Each structure stands twice: as C-alpha cells, then as structure tokens.
C-alpha cells in the first residue's frame, strides 16, 4: 500500500531468510550437543530431532542428510580455528615473534575451549568416519600444518628456528597441540592449568623440547 509491494516482498524475504537461518542454527546446536555426547555413529537423526524439538521432515528441509549437519559443524570448527591463527608480522611496531606465537596459541586454546563439544567432535569423532570425511580432515590439518611450516620457514630465514625437516616438524607441532588439547577437554581435571600456563608450556615444549641442555648429542650423529 505505502512503499510498494516490492519493499514488502523484500522485507518478507529477509525475515524468511532470518527465520531459516535461525532454524538451521537450532538444528546445528542440537546436533552439536548430541554428537559430542554419544558420537556421530551412536546418535541417530531421531536424537537430533528430539534435542532440537522439531519434526523429522523439518530436519530434511534444512539439511540434505545427517552427514551434512556433521560436515557443517566441522566446517564451523575449521573456520574458527583458521580464524584464530594470525600470520606472524615482522616489523618495528609489532610484538616479538614469540609473543605473536603465544597469541596464536592462546587464541587457539580459547577457540577450542569455548567450543568444547565441537572440539571433541573434531578430535575424536571426525576421525575415521569415512573416506570423504577423512579427506576433508586431512585437507584441514594439511592446511594447518602448511601454515605452521610457513611460520617455521620464516623463523628459519630469521635465524630463530633451527634446521629441521619442516613438514615433519610441522606435524610434530600440530600433533602435540592436538593431543594436549584432547586430554585437557576430555580429561577429568580439565582446568588444572590456566590457559596462560598451558600456552606457555606448549610453547616451551615446541621451542625447546624437554632437554635441559643444549649440548646433548643425538646418538649416531656425525
């Protein structure tokens, strides 16, 4: 009547889209909960429906399959973690490289801890589900490890990082982080350490390892 039907239509559409997105979120939330509780395989679509308090058909209105929901959750996690990692900046007006790394680790810890359920899903459930998921996971970890590798290479060029097999060491770094966080999130005493201490310990381990001396010699080395 007033501003024309076009406007009305647009508004309606927008509101519809918003509602749609809310519903999606509601389902994702429910799925996240039940997946992290009982695992992907041990949880049926019915479990999600019950948790989300929606009907069977509604679910398939928003997701093409149970798998798709899981994939979506995984992608959320990928995005958040990727977002937590910042490239190391060089220059006079930025914090030291170590401090920047510390920031990265802290942010990752924050993301993982504030998404405990999703993290557990990522670290436990998502592994070995099927070939497709595995590939997706591999790709993600591959990207992460590539980022680490890039940082290490940069560090090497600056003389901060020692000579080493970068791809391998990248995965060492990645692995130590994953395992520690999994233990922290699933273990009985999840907050024995503050996140700052945790970050520090992780960084220490990755930078200086466990040795108390630098002069140790590996056996069989010329």
Partner DNA sequence: TATGAATGAGTCTTCATTCAT
Partner DNA sequence: CATGAATGAAGACTCATTCAT
**Token duo for residue 14:** 């927008």
* CB closer to its own copies out of 2 and 212: 212
Contact with its own copies (CB under 8 A): which of 9, 21, 44, 186?
186
Residue identified by tokens 């930025």 is 94
16 makes contact, choosing from DNA, its own copies, none, with CB < 5 to 8 Å by partner type, with DNA
Mark residues 113-142: x for contact with its own copies by CB under 8 A, - for none.
Answer: ----------xxxxxxxxx--x---x----
Residues from 19 through 78 that contact DNA (CB under 7 A): 19-20, 23, 44-46, 54-58, 60-62, 64-67
Residues 41 and 59: their CA atoms lie apart, in Å, by: 18
The secondary element (H helix, E strand) that includes residue 61 is helix 56-62
Distance in Å, CB of 72 to DNA, minimum? 13
CA dihedral 12, 15, 16, 21 (to 10 degrees): 160
C-alpha distances in Å from residue 169, one per residue of 79, 197, 213:
24, 23, 20
Tell me whether residue 163 is exposed, middle or buried, using C-beta atoms within 10 angstroms of its C-beta: 0 to 12, 13 to 18, 19 or more: exposed
By the criterion CB under 8 A, which residues form the site for its own copies?
Answer: 38-42, 95-96, 98-99, 102, 123-131, 134, 138, 152, 155, 159-165, 168-169, 171-180, 183, 186, 193, 196-198, 200-214, 216-221
By the criterion CB under 7 A, which residues form the site for DNA?
Answer: 16, 19-20, 23, 44-46, 54-58, 60-62, 64-67
């Amino acid at each position: 009547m007033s501003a024309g039907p076009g406007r009305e239509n647009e508004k309606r559409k927008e509101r519809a889209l918003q509602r749609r997105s809310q519903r999606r979120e509601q389902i994702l939330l429910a799925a996240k909960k039940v997946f992290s509780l009982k695992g992907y395989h041990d949880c049926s679509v019915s479990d999600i429906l019950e948790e989300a308090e929606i009907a069977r058909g509604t679910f398939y209105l928003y997701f093409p399959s149970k798998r798709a929901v899981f994939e979506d959750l995984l992608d959320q996690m990928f995005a958040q973690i990727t977002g937590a990692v910042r490239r190391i900046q060089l220059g006079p007006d930025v914090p030291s490289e170590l401090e920047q790394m510390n920031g990265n680790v802290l942010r990752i810890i924050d993301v993982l801890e504030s998404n405990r359920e999703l993290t557990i899903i990522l670290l436990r459930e998502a592994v070995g589900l099927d070939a497709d998921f595995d590939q997706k996971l591999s790709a993600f970890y591959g990207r992460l490890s590539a980022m680490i590798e890039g940082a290490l290479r940069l560090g090497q060029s600056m003389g901060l990082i020692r000579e080493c097999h970068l791809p391998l060491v990248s995965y060492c770094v990645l692995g130590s982080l994953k395992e520690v966080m999994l233990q922290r999130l699933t273990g009985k005493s999840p907050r024995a350490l503050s996140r700052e201490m945790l970050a520090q310990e992780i960084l220490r381990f990755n930078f200086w390892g466990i040795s108390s001396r630098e002069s140790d010699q590996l056996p069989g080395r010329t």
